[in-house]
Amino acid sequence: MQESQKKHQIIEAAYHLFKARGFYATGVDLIMQVAHVSKRTLYKYFPTKNELIVAVLAFYRSTYADHLNRIVTQNDKTSREKMLMIFEDAKQWFEDENFHGCLAVNAMGEFSGKDQAIEDACSEFKRWEFDMLHTLTKDIAPKQSDILAYKLFVLLEGMSSIAQVTKGTFPLDMTSMAEDVINSHSL
């Protein structure tokens, strides 16, 4: 197996374990077992567990970006429609039994003040997420695109946190809430 395949195998195994179990609760022995690699191979690519966490956060962002790009690159949809599609997609993700919250938020919760590289990876992820929303809001409300993007970002992040705690049950439709926020800036 090529070296890059082994490295990816470790990252993907760690990603699934961290997502389901958390960072501190997932030991390197379990990662090695699930990834089918030796301790020597694991430490060859990732001398510390924290370096692996940074790589997993980059993988998470890349995977999420690929997923969202399928929505935002639809040329037959307006930016408004794409934004609502993002919220509808998020709603489905939040209702999934395998949803354990945003991995970047979870990492920040476990490592805030403890590892700058992990904090930076989390911050970078959230900046990217906001920038993606902001790109769409520039077409929806050009004069208030940053304000609209922040409101939608807060809604998305808040609903993600609520979904993590309530296991995806909501008394309100988050897509309708996003539409109300968009409408308030489209008048």
pTM for this prediction: 0.90
Nearest to 17 by CA among 167, 42, 87, 163: 42
The predicted-structure confidence for 170-179, as pLDDT tens digits, reads as follows: 777 899 999 9
> Rounded to whole angstroms, how far apart are CA atoms 43 and 20?
22
Helix axes 103-111, 49-72, angle to 10 degrees: 150
Examine the pLDDT at 186 and tell me if it is beyond 90.
no
Examine the pLDDT at 15 and tell me if it is beyond 90.
yes
The predicted-structure confidence for 119-175, as pLDDT tens digits, reads as follows: 999 999 999 999 999 999 999 999 999 999 999 999 999 999 988 888 767 777 899
- Per this entry, what is the length of the chain? 187
Enumerate the domain spans of the chain: 1-47, 54-186
Q: Does the domain at residues 54-186 carry the CATH identifier 1.10.357.10?
A: yes
Q: Provide the pLDDT for residue 168.
A: 65
For residue 24, how many other CB atoms are within 10 A of its CB? 10
Whether 54-186 and 1-47 are alike in CATH topology: the answer is no
Tell me which of 1.10.10.60, 3.40.50.150, 1.10.300.10, 1.10.10.10 is the CATH number of domain 1-47.
Answer: 1.10.10.60
Mean pLDDT estimate for the chain: 92
Residue range 40-59: average pLDDT?
96
